[in-house]
Amino acid sequence: MDSVRGIVLDPVSRRRLPGEVAFSDGRITAVRGTGGDIPSSYILPGFVDAHVHIESSMLVPTEFVRIALRHGTVATVSDPHEIANVCGVEGIDFMIRNGRESPLKFAFGVPSCVPATPFETSGAELDADAVGRLLDREDIPFLGEMMNWPGVLAEDAGVMAKIRAALDRGKPVDGHAPSLTGEQAARYIAAGISTDHECASLEEALDKLEKGMLVLIREGSAARDFDELIPALEKYPGRIMFCSDDKHPDDLQQGHINALAARALRRGLDLWDVLEACSVVPVRHYGLDVGLLQEGDPADFLVVANTENMEVEQTWIDGECVQEGGKVFFREGTVSPVNNFVPHSPAPEDFRIRWDGESFPVIEASEGSLLTGKTWDRLPSEEGELLASPGQGMNKIAVVCRYRRADPAAGFVRGFGLREGAIASSVAHDSHNIVAVGASDADLARAVDLVMRHRGGIAAVLGDREEVLPLPVAGLMSDRPGGEVSTVYERLTRMAGEMGSPLRAPYMVLSFMALLVIPSLRISDRGIFDAERFEFLA
């Protein structure tokens, strides 16, 4: 029998106990007070990211783990929505198989929206029958975020069949309902959807909590809702979870759920309420095989020096110390990439926009929110061709299909601020076609060509310089170590800054420009799309 001594913080019974956690064969045998000198460090349950797309870290699960374990994350509730939209069931199986090569406890769900909408070209389709077959599997515990909220409200047969398939099997259904409140939110919840991570305002979060939903406070690389939503934890303790949703590798290096716990405690929130949000609520809601410092539980716990900064000294999973002092202990995994890519490179003239109307719809991008604005602008033109104005903050944006040869869809965007050069990425929610923003058509064509040549990646071109981070796994993830990926990603981010971009995370903002289920204006490989009216404008 082994044991770890310290000040035990037990959020289930809400007790602080100087003593030890004893365990044998991977399970806790006792949590008890002891005499003698007790270390001043704290023992608490491991952290759970209650909603994350691992793919957005651009790391395969085994490399994600090497960073997450350092921050005390012992489990994730992971929706493999991104890779499923590219590679279907083969992609889901890749994530589960790769995740099993690590000690972290991944709970991968069934993506509910593949494709996310019928208004874009994706690489796969999962209908209600396919979703049901996946939900029959014991290694898949939930139905992923139901993005098609209009389909829920309209009681679309296919959408409702997927929800029923989960509920009939006793598996929870995750939500995705940005800005939905009042009677519409009530109908969405009544369909059997139990969570939402898309609340952008405290008012929206409280409305959904009052109606019985669990709300996830999200702090990712693009959407940063913590400061706005954290007051909800005081009003609805036991009904809140923390999540990252989408987190790029440089941000993941800095912190994970531990950083949110520390921020909440610095604001004076109750310790037990915070620890519930970090572990107890997601473990119980999703039925995770993750320990909560109770006798008979898996021996999953953390040792931290203090609760002010939540810097993790040790991470234990199933009675094994898998991280200590920043050093992670498990064998290297193997990566056999899956992908779905038809490389082709449009010419600069393919990005031209001809328009007969007086004004043109322009996307307004911003950092810290997934929401975009929409304006109708009178743009400069030359012989019927609309022109960008990079000097005035107006760039051209384009999406190029990666699954078949097709002409680009092009439009205009404010917020990226590129005075020269271009950036491009095959990480483009949700179908992951190639999205690019640039100061000129020639730069757009060069950046897209870089991504095409590598069958996926993120790229930047500036003058005669070219930089690319190849993403050979579904065009979403690297097969390289996390530290190396983070270094190249940071270099690409700096390069975008040299082009004039004021954005802290330009590639994360770029990745959401094609996300058609978030208001207000987006672009797919088929054109400019109004996400409020669900129709194309150009």
Same domain as 453, residue 525: yes
What is the pLDDT of the chain when averaged over all its residues?
96
User: In the prediction, which pLDDT does 2 show?
Assistant: 95
Q: CA of 234: how far to CAs of 211, 277, 287, in Å?
A: 17, 11, 24
- Beta-strand (E) ranges in 25-121? 27-33, 42-45, 47-52, 73-78, 105-108
Number of H helices and E strands in the chain, helices first, is 17, 30
Q: What is the band of 280 on the pLDDT scale with cuts at 50, 70, 90?
A: very high
% the chain with pLDDT above 90: 92
Single-letter amino acid code for the residue at 268: G
- 355 and 274 share one domain: no
**Residue partners of 166: CB distance under 8 A and separation at least 6:** 110, 135, 142, 143, 172, 173, 192
For residues 117 and 158, the answer to whether their CB atoms sit within 8 Å is no
Is residue 277 located within the same domain as residue 363?
no
Mean pLDDT, range 262-271, rounded to an integer: 97
- CA–CA dist 356, 360 (Å, integer): 9
Instruction: Give the mean model confidence (pLDDT) for residues 53-76.
Output: 97
Residue 334 has pLDDT above 80, yes or no: no
Average pLDDT over residues 55-78: 97
Structural domains of the chain, count: 2
CB 430 within 8 A of CB 113: yes
Mean pLDDT of 497-513: 95
| Total length of the chain | 538
Does a structural domain hold residue 299? Answer: no
pLDDT at res. 336: 82
Q: Given this model, what pLDDT does residue 21 score?
A: 98
| Out of 14-18, 161-165, 355-359, 404-408, least confident range | 355-359
User: What pLDDT score was predicted for residue 365?
Assistant: 97
Last residue in a domain, options 270, 287, 304:
287
pLDDT of residue 221: 82
> Are residues 155 and 268 located together in one domain of the fold?
yes
* Residue 277 shares a structural domain with residue 422: no
> Region 132-160: what's the mean pLDDT?
96
> Among 182-186, 281-285, 443-447, 478-482, which stretch is predicted with the lowest mean pLDDT?
478-482
Judgement on whether residues 265 and 379 belong to the same structural domain of the protein: no
When pLDDT is cut at 50, 70 and 90, the band that residue 422 belongs to is very high
- Residue 291 pLDDT more than 90? yes
Tell whether the model's pLDDT for residue 164 goes beyond 80.
Answer: yes
- CATH code at 71? 3.20.20.140
Which of 77, 136, 82 lies closest to 109, judged by CA? 77
Q: What is the pTM of this model?
A: 0.94
Does the pLDDT of residue 517 top 90, yes or no?
Answer: no
Report if residue 460 sits inside a domain. yes
161 membership: H or E segment, kind and range: helix 157-168
Task: Specify the pLDDT at position 348.
Answer: 98
pLDDT the model gives residue 368? 81
For 201-235, write each residue's pLDDT tens digit.
999 999 999 999 999 999 998 889 999 999 999 99
Is the same domain home to 387 and 269?
no
Question: Mean pLDDT throughout 335-361?
Answer: 94
505 and 388 together in one domain: yes
Q: What is the CA radius of gyration of the chain?
A: 23
181 belongs to a structural domain: yes
At 407, the amino acid letter reads: D
For residue range 82-133, list pLDDT tens digits in order: 999 999 999 999 999 999 999 999 999 999 999 988 999 999 999 999 999 9
**Which pLDDT band, with edges at 50, 70 and 90, does 399 fall under?**
very high
The residue among 340 and 333 whose pLDDT is bigger is: 340
CA angle (261 as vertex; 255, 103 as ends), nearest 5: 60
In a domain, 473, yes or no: yes
- Indicate whether 406 and 504 sit together in one domain: yes
Q: What is the DSSP letter of 120?
A: S
In a domain, 105, yes or no: yes
pLDDT for the residue 222: 80
Assigned domain for 308 exists: no
Q: Is the pLDDT of residue 330 over 90?
A: no
Taking only the tens place, the pLDDT of each residue in 444-488 is 999 999 999 999 999 999 999 999 999 999 999 999 999 999 999
Q: Among the three residues 243, 268, 287, which one is the final residue of a domain in this structure?
A: 287
Q: What is the mean pLDDT of residues 254-259?
A: 97
Shared-domain flag, residues 364 and 469: yes
485: left (phi over 0), alpha (psi -120 to 50) or beta: alpha
* Pair 92, 240 in one domain: yes
Q: 280 and 371: one domain?
A: no
Question: Does residue 386 form part of some domain?
Answer: yes
Mark which of 272, 287, 302 sits at the end of a domain. 287
Is 431 a member of any domain? yes
Fill in the amino acid letter for 233: L
Residue 287 pLDDT: 98
Among 235, 179, 236, CA closest to 204: 179
Confidence of residue 367 (pLDDT cuts 50, 70, 90): confident
Q: What is the domain extent for residue 477?
A: 348-536
